[in-house]
Amino acid sequence: MKISWGTKIAATYILFVIGVLVMVFVFMNQDVHLVTDNYYSKELEYQNHIDKINRTNQLEEQLQIINLQSAVKFIFPKQFDFNTIKGTINFYRPSDPYKDLIVDIAPDSSNTQLVTNEKFSKGIWKVKVDWQVNNNSYYNEKILMVN
């Protein structure tokens, strides 16, 4: 028995429609997990983060983060008075979130702050410095290796 070309076209069309309906059914039942529930508010916060980085890059003198043998030294730009520098230093441990450490910024009169690394285990640390001076926010990041 030979199948006519009209029957073949109809069968192809029906198979195509069934395939599309199966895809729609499968995709509609697929869970979509967002990284965060408040996606849009986080996006606005991220724009503020980008603005902080741009403002930081426009500084004449940059924040210096120096990894010493027994401490991490932060040298803030001399153009700012040490009394006006506020914020936090976040020591982020990618491999173990329980070892993260947050330190308040409190520079001395030479715009320098030392954070001893006795609490740090050996390995890679990401240092995130979120700081403000006179209602202007700045942000620096650096990866350190503690031996």
Question: Which H helix or E strand runs over 138?
Answer: strand 136-146
pTM of this prediction? 0.69
91 confidence band (pLDDT: 50, 70, 90): very high
Share of the chain above pLDDT 90, in %: 67
Distance CA 56, CA 45 (A): 17
Q: Other C-beta atoms within 10 Å of 12: how many? A: 10
* DSSP assignment of 57-114: HT-SS--EEEE-SSEEEEE--TTS-GGGEEEEEEEE-TT-GGG-EEEE----TTSEEE
Q: What is the pLDDT of residue 129?
A: 96
Homologous superfamily in CATH for domain 61-146: Immunoglobulins (2.60.40.10)
Of 90, 85, 61, 88, nearest to 135 by C-alpha is 85
Q: What is the pLDDT of residue 109?
A: 93
> In this structure, is the dihedral angle defined by the CA atoms of residues 134, 137, 142 and 147, taken in order, positive or negative?
positive
- Residue range 5-58, pLDDT digits in tens: 999 999 999 999 999 999 999 998 887 666 566 777 777 788 889 999 999 999
Q: What is the pLDDT of residue 104?
A: 96
Q: Which sequence spans correspond to the domains of the chain? A: 61-146
Q: Which residue in the block uniquely carries the two structure tokens 């603005």? A: 51
